[in-house]
Amino acid sequence: MCFSAPASLIAGGALSSAGALSLKMAGKTPRRAIAAVPLVFGIHQLMEGVVWISLGEPRVHAAATVGYLLIAYVLWPTYLPYAVWRDETGPRRKKALAWFVWFGTAVSLYLLFFILRGPVSATLLGGGIAYDVPLPNYAVIPGAYVLATCGSCFVSSHKYIRVFGMALIASLGIAYGYYLHAFASVWCFFAAILSLIIFVHLRQKPLA
């Protein structure tokens, strides 16, 4: 979790276990992509745990910071719409989701450029970690990021994927309203916990 190293590591371990079970439930089907979401969030939280505990080791801290940002800023805008697309069975919705994948890829590449150009940093503030990435057009990119990630969930024909999207938007509002100083860290934590909805989704029959 964003609030302490132990919480990040515990959440990461629990989500990784849930993700492994989700993958087993999905089997060798297209649903494996969506089933892996809790596992990736688990790895992400474990990485933030390393960011917390590596303050005395500059190289490890820098590597963990970049790794965390690559998942948060670069992986999710492409992977989440891709996973929702792979899980979709309706041809019309699947076609619409393909556009989200391409849009998310463009957002990911844009953010990747600025992360690699740097400098990026992670600073511990009261009860959270503030990640700094030097981005231009800061008023536009967050909206594009949210559209690519959360927006794709609303196109899904599956009930619990749509619920996941609504929960992501709600948690975004909470993180922005109460934890603006560590927004990326806090929202990613909330999203990680909410990814357990994917586990529920995999246990249900697809619903329109």
Q: Reduce the DSSP state of residue 208 to 3 states and report it.
A: coil
Q: Can you tell me the mean pLDDT for 112-126?
A: 89
Token pair of 68 as six digits = 């965390």
pLDDT mean across residues, the chain = 89
> What confidence tens digit (pLDDT) does each residue in 177-198 have?
888 888 888 888 889 889 989 9
Q: Which of 26-30, 49-53, 168-172, 204-208 has the highest mean pLDDT?
A: 168-172
Would the pTM of this model clear 0.85, i.e. be above it? yes
What is the reported pLDDT for 106? 96
Q: What is the mean pLDDT of residues 128-153?
A: 88
Q: What is the pLDDT of residue 124?
A: 83
pLDDT exceeds cutoff 70 at 123 = yes
Distance of CA 196 to the CA centre of its chain: 12
- Alpha-carbon distances, residue 57 vs 69, 71, 122, 125 (angstroms): 18, 21, 13, 18
Quote the pLDDT of residue 3. 62
Domain assignments of the chain as residue spans, ordered by start: 5-203
Instruction: List pLDDT tens digits, range 58-111.
Output: 899 999 999 999 999 999 999 999 999 999 988 999 999 999 999 999 999 999
Q: What is the CA radius of gyration of the chain?
A: 16
Name the pLDDT band for 206 (thresholds 50, 70, 90): very low
Secondary structure (3-state) at 118 = coil
Residue range 46-56: average pLDDT?
88
Which strand (E) or helix (H) includes residue 150? helix 141-155
Residues 184/27, Cβ–Cβ less than 8 Å: no
Q: What is the pLDDT, as a whole number, of residue 208?
A: 38
Write down the pLDDT at residue 181.
81
